[in-house]
Every structure is written in structure tokens, then in C-alpha cells.
Structure 1
Amino acid sequence: MSTDLTAAAIAAQVRSGALTPRDAVQAALARIAERDPGLGAFVTVRAEQALAEADAVAERSDLAALPLAGVPIAVKDNVPVAGHPLGNGSRASSHEPSPGDHPVVARLRAAGAVVVGLTAVPELCLWGTTDTPDTVTRNPWNPGRTTGGSSGGSAAAVAAGMVPVAHGADGMGSIRIPAACCGLVGIKPGLGVVPAELGVDSWFGMAENGPLATTVEDAALMLSVMADRPELATVADPGPLRIAVATGSPLPLVRVDPYWRAGAESAAAVLGGAGHHLATARLPYPANPLVILARWMGGAATDAAGLDPALLQPRTRRHVAVGRVLTRFVDPAQVRKVDAALRRVFADSDVVITPTLARSPIEALRWSEKSWLSNLAANIRYAPFPSLWNLVGWPAAGVPVGIHPESGTPLGVQIAAPPGGEALILSVAAQLERLRPWERTAPS
């Protein structure tokens, strides 16, 4: 079987009988065995279980109607997968197998997908790099650079061609940041579109589950299943739109790399050439960083409740301790204020385009051994753009637009829209993909 098949193509071939689910899964497992040792994308590979589940998919009476028939997928190790402990990147996590699947995993399986493995995350999914004391997950485009975080393991698995699509989760950009680092399409849906985490408040409503893929078609297909909204799988032409282009830095002390800025501007120019109206904009990023930081750190404190602090990494212990203090500063009125300011921007715009990152992926190191302040500064300096959309709960996607000439890693843009704009974002992303196609996976 070709390693170049998209999820949509695999599913079509399985539905037609040209390919069996077992063959699709075996090919993915072979690629994982070959490519993952140098990248560290997976924490668990479900070889025997996945093959048995592939055979079960082949016997389903509704095989010909399954949208993800036989598609091998990876699941980020921050949601329950039945029979496997929920690791969440931490030695402090329970070692007891999860009794059932998260609703998103259940939906993917019901659609015919086969979970071939669980992917690496930083501890409690807190950081913009994916590493633990045991493993550093590396970027397939440049192994010296990070895949981003916290869905970095899923991004590495897709970017290296091990699986065509993967589950991700995004609380501060954790789908869009890895997508930008690894040259993928990743979408964070708006609030309530896809089931979020279980048993917690999902970082005060900032965290959402979504797909990572190599094409817009695959991202739309997987999102449609995760959201249980089949209409999202059909990506329409966007028609002429008003596109706001906002390349200014979200933070006064953070400089945007000129190549990342130019990537967003050139992508906008391509869309302008297709008939859209372009206008520059300045987005209302919160003047007080505590509005977002308190939710990030307070969410960590919630997730760490009940865990043994002695087993947490030093950077995480500090993050959790600060979060317990800052939680008192979380006020829904802050979100309403930013939301209202954003709506004023969108009174004259349909979507906005920004760089996804302020600079290329930082070094792939054991950041877990570095100080809390070092992690904080490194994360904020390179990835300040995505968190605004988590704060307000609006949809946003990351899309590749080229290669950075110095790091050799991809460049990417972020496309965002008001609530309910997932289909519109996907349509703009698909148009950009047609006009400026990208390499789907990293060179071998």
C-alpha cells in the first residue's frame, strides 16, 4: 500500500473493497516501527489490538457507509482510550486502565477508524514543546527542533507519514502550534462543537479537541466525525470574503520573525488575488497578560488536583503552585470584554489571518529539566498568537504556507472566525491549499 494515501483515500478504498482495514493498519504499524524510533511520537503502539480491531471493522455490516473506514489514527495521550492508562505525560498519573473511551474516541471508532497508538505529550499538556524526562519528541522536518506542544506527538506522527490523521487537543494553541511546527492542517473548533475533556473544566473553557491532518479534506472529514456533524466534511468554495490581515505581535516585547510575518502577508496576497478583499487590522489582545496566564496556570492546578506533587516535574510543580494563587483572578467579565472588542473587528471582516508562530520551532531539548521561568519565556516568545482564540472560544486553524529558509521547518498561518465559523475557515484553508499547495509530509 502507498504511504501517500490520505485518510479520505484510505476510507474510500476500504469502502470499495480495494483495500482491507487490516492492510491499512499493517502499513501504518510498519511505518511506525521504521520511523518512530528517531522521533519519539508514540508512547504506546497498539499493534495486536489495532489489527484485531481492523478485522472487526472489516466485518461491520455498515462498512460501505463508514466515513473513516479502516483509517489508522493516533490519539493524543490526554483523553481516555479504553484499556490503556491515561498518561497525560506525567509519572504522577494513574496506572489503572481507562474503563472506556472518551466520546471523541468513541465517535472516531464508530466511524470506522482504528486507533494504532497513543502519542506523546508534555506533562499535563502544559508546554509548547513535547518532552518528558524519558523522551524528547523531535520534528520530522528538522530533528533538532521541537514538534511544538502539547499535541506534538500527534503532529510528529502525521508529519512523518506514520498515520494520515491524528487527534489533538488545544488549550493555548496546542493543535495550531504543532501544526505550524510540522507543516500540517490543524483546527481548534469553537466552544461546544466537539466534546471537550471529561471531569474537568477544560482550562476554564479554553481547551478543545480537534484534528491534525496533511490536507484540508482530511481535517474537515475528521472534524465532522469528532463533532458528529457530517456536513462539515464537505468543504465549499468560500466566495468573496473580507479578510483582515493582522501580523502585529500580540505582546509588546515579542518580535515577529520577518519570515513568519511575510508568510502571512504572502498567503493573504494569494487570497486577495483570488478575489477576496484584504484589510490590515490590529487585534484586541488583552493588555493584561494575567487574563490568559491565570487560566493556563489555574487549569494546571485543577488538573493536578489529587496527583502526588513529588512525582511532578519541577516546572510543573511551580506552574501548579502559581496557578492556585492566580485562579482568583479568573473573571468571566474579562472574556466578555475581549469578545466584544473582537466582534467590533469582525463587523468589517469575515475571517482574520495572522502568523501562527512568532518564530520557528525552538530547540528539541529536555525542557522538563529546565526552570519554570525558562519554559515560560521560551513558550511565550515563539507562540504568542494562538491563545486569544482559546480565551474567547472562537474557532481557528493552522495552515502551512512554506518553509523557513533558516530552520528548514514549515511556515504557517492562522485563520480565525467568529463562533460557528468552522466551515468558513476550512473553505478558506482549502482555497489556499489549491492556490499554494504544500508538501504533505516531511522528506524521508
Structure 2
Amino acid sequence: MLPIFDLSLQFNGYPIKEAKAELQKIVALTSSEKEHFIENKKKEIVEFHLKNNPFYQELVGTKSYTNWNDLPVLNKQNLQQPLSQRLSKGYTLKNVYVGKTSGSSGNPFIFARDKFTHALFWASSAYRFGWYDINLNSSYQARFYGVPLDFMGYQKEKLKDLLGNRLRFPIFNLSDDVLEKMLEKFKHKKFDYINGYTSSIVLFAKFLKQKNIVLKDLCPSLKACVVTSEMLFEGDKILLETQLGIPIINEYGASELDLIAFQNTQDEWQVNAETLFVEILDDNDVVLPYGQEGRIVVTSLFNKAHPFIRYDIGDIGILDEKSTLQKPILKKLIGRTNDVAILPSGKKSPGLTFYYITKSIIEDDGNVKEFTIKQIKMDTFEIEYVSETILSAAQIQKIEQAIALYLEPNLKFSYSQKEVLKRNKRGKLKQFTSMV
């Protein structure tokens, strides 16, 4: 098969061949060479932007620096100004890749990558997918993603699907009838892998469980499933492994950067140390040692068109104690910094704690398919859920007892059964939202 995906990148001015060669050189470095490479690239990218990027010069407040840890932490609010004002000298909207973040953090913005960095983005993806014998040029993908509903946006995504050798499943309506049609596709098409939003694939797996079907039995060509964009809980991972019958790969990335972490074949969440440098910082921007929880701050080592240097992505996580500069391991991704519930006692708790506790109780019998939690006031929460039957008084009591035990008592909850849950324009399901 022709490498159509690579050829389409090359045709559009993204030097994928050169990027793949560069990535292979980095991957082949010894530990000491890799450490030297990372330190050099950090220095090189800062010096480039201090010399060529007025936006970054203003942020730093000087055209030179002596200590990496003295550099400011860039946040999404800093980036909410016209892209043309953030580009480096020599780069225009016509000679860069331009993208837009999903806005799941509450702060969407337009970003840019120079053409070599964009090619590296795809080389990095191809390398990691290759760990599971998935080839982005030839492997056939079952894609559980949203799609723009406007005519031009829709046609553009369909063309990308054609070039990317993938079949896109609609995820805005995941009724049993729609899931049945999806299942029929797997019976008749030789998919190599599944890729998409965690919540949608989990819902499909629950449907398979109801029907007592293991997907690999119906579609023997399947090799792996890559879940992305939403939290993957351990119970859901077990469900997916059981009902899909293939390895479940947890991906963590950001559209403005690259794949940040990708589960390797040793079941480690390996951080990308080829094109990125990842730090964990506390609330005072101090670097934390491995094993401690803090803000995930990422530097793009190659992007000259736009600075992403010590960029606070808006997530909280922990790097494993066994991490090294050459091979960092993401031990845990806890959630977004803006998904924190502030409770009446003054206690702060990641919103996903509510979700996790509630999930472990109400999914026992398989009745509840999906749910979301919204904090309306400091002491008031609203749970919306999709289920066959309404939650029982006993289930509600168990939920509230668990939350009182693990968090604090006297919190108020309302429960609302829905036919479908609201997703964002791209089809993502926001599992916890605070309105406080």
C-alpha cells in the first residue's frame, strides 16, 4: 500500500521523511547522550525565542537568561491574544501549521507549529503506535471521535479520514440502535485498531458486555485500542480489555504540543522525552521531585514558530520515582487544575474524586451507562446519568455515605436521569464541572 498519509504530509510542505530520520537519531541516543541532547535543546529553544519572538521577550522581561528555573511559567491566559502577535520573526500564518485547542480547560486558543515540528508531531505518533505494530499509513482505524457539523468542517474531516485510512463512528448519539450499527461494521470490516475518546469506547464495551460479545472474536484483525482525551479508570480498562479482547493503550496528549505520554509494552505510561521536556511544579513554580503531585508543565523542544516553554497545560499529575531524564514515567494523571471542587470546610478536592467514588457504587449492576457531576454551589452537586431504570434510594444513600466518608458530610445532591448526556462540539464528555 502507498504511504498515502506520509505523502499527503509531504505534499503539504511537512517534511515527514526528515522528521522520522531525526526522531530515530534521538531514539538511538545513549542515556548520557540523551541527557546532553535535552539540555542543549532546552537552551537552544529559549535562546531562539528570546532573540526572535517579541511575545516571549515581553513575557520573560529580558533577552537573556542564566537559570532555567527562573524562566516564567507560560499559561493559557497568556496565549489568548491574536496568533499573529505570538509568532516568531520569519513565521506568518501562511508558512506554519495552525490549530485550535479543544477548550476543555475553559481557555481555548489558536496555536502554531513550524512545519518541521508538525512533521515531528506525526513522526512521534507513528513511532509510538509502531510499538503495537500499528502503521499510520496502512493500518485501518475504527475512529470514535466527534466531527464538525458545518459543511466545510465535515468535508475536511472526511478527507482526513480517507487519507488516514480510518472509518469514523458518530459519537454524539450512542443509543443502542447506533451501537448495533457500529457492531455490524466490525463484523464486516478488517479494522487493525480502535482510537478515540475513552467515554465513547467504554459505552460501546458496556453494550458488548450486555450482548456477551468479545469484539476480537467478531473482528480478528484487531490489534489494539488507543483511548485518549478523557480519564481512563482502572475498572474501565479491565472492562475494555475483557470486551474488546485486545491491549488497551492509554494516550495522554495535547493538540498544541504532541503526545505527552503513551503506554508502552511494559505497561508503563512513558513520557515523550524526544520532542518534549516535562516538569512537575508546585503552586509556587518550584520543581517537585519524582513521586510528588503537582502541575504538569511542558516545553516543546523544537517549535520555533511559537514558544511553548515551561507551559502549564492545566493538568495535575505525578512522575514515577523510577523516572529518569531520558525515560520519565507518568505515574498518575489526576485531572485538570480547573476541575477542583472547593468544599464548605475549605477543603480542595479534585472533582474526579466525586466521580470515582460515585462510579464505583452506581455501576455495580450495569444499570447506569454514563454520568457527569456538576458543582452548582459550594455544598450542592448535580448528578446527571443515563440508565435503564432510575437510581434507587439505596444506591443514592450508598453514594452519599461514601462521599461523606471520603470527602466531608452534609453535601447536597440532586439526581437527574437523562436519555443522553451533553458533550462538547468535539464529542468529549466532561465528567466533572465546577460552577463555583
Give me the TM-score of the superposition, normalised by structure 2: 0.24
Answer 1 or 2: which has greater helix percent. 1
Greater length-normalized contact order (CA 8 Å, ≥ 6 residues apart): 1
Query: 1 or 2, which has the higher strand percentage?
Result: 2
- Structure-1-length-normalised TM-score: 0.24
**Which protein has the larger Cα radius of gyration, Structure 1 or Structure 2?**
2
